[in-house]
Amino acid sequence: MILEEVYETIKQRIKEKPEGSYVAKLTTDDKKSAINKICEKIGEEATELILAAKDNKKDEIIYEAADLIFHTMVLLAYKGIEFEDLLKEFEQRRK
């Protein structure tokens, strides 16, 4: 599944901090600063998604939803939460 592949790449870039990596840039500072940057990006992307939805712009909705999901995945990975844990939560909600 593509989301799992992206998640593994995010985890790898948080750990290895390769030069030029956007994820590494978001997560390189001290923990408080990194969390602030990640959370600001999530807020920004959520706002952009809301605006795209209100304007009924399908392509922008898709783009901004992907950005929001990506930055949420960065937060989860940074906090040491496995993608499988997220899937388990969805599985519980399905019941």
Look at residue 92 in the predicted model and tell me its pLDDT.
94
pTM, entire model: 0.92
What is the rounded CA–CA span in Å between residue 23 and residue 74?
Answer: 7
Which of 28-32, 70-74, 91-95 has maximum average pLDDT?
70-74
Could you tell me the domains of the chain?
Answer: 2-94 (1.10.287.1080)
**pLDDT higher than 90, residue 31:** no
Averaged pLDDT, 80-94? 95
Which stretches within the chain are classed as H helix?
2-16, 22-27, 31-54, 58-78, 83-94
**pLDDT higher than 90, residue 76:** yes
Look at residue 29 in the predicted model and tell me its pLDDT.
78
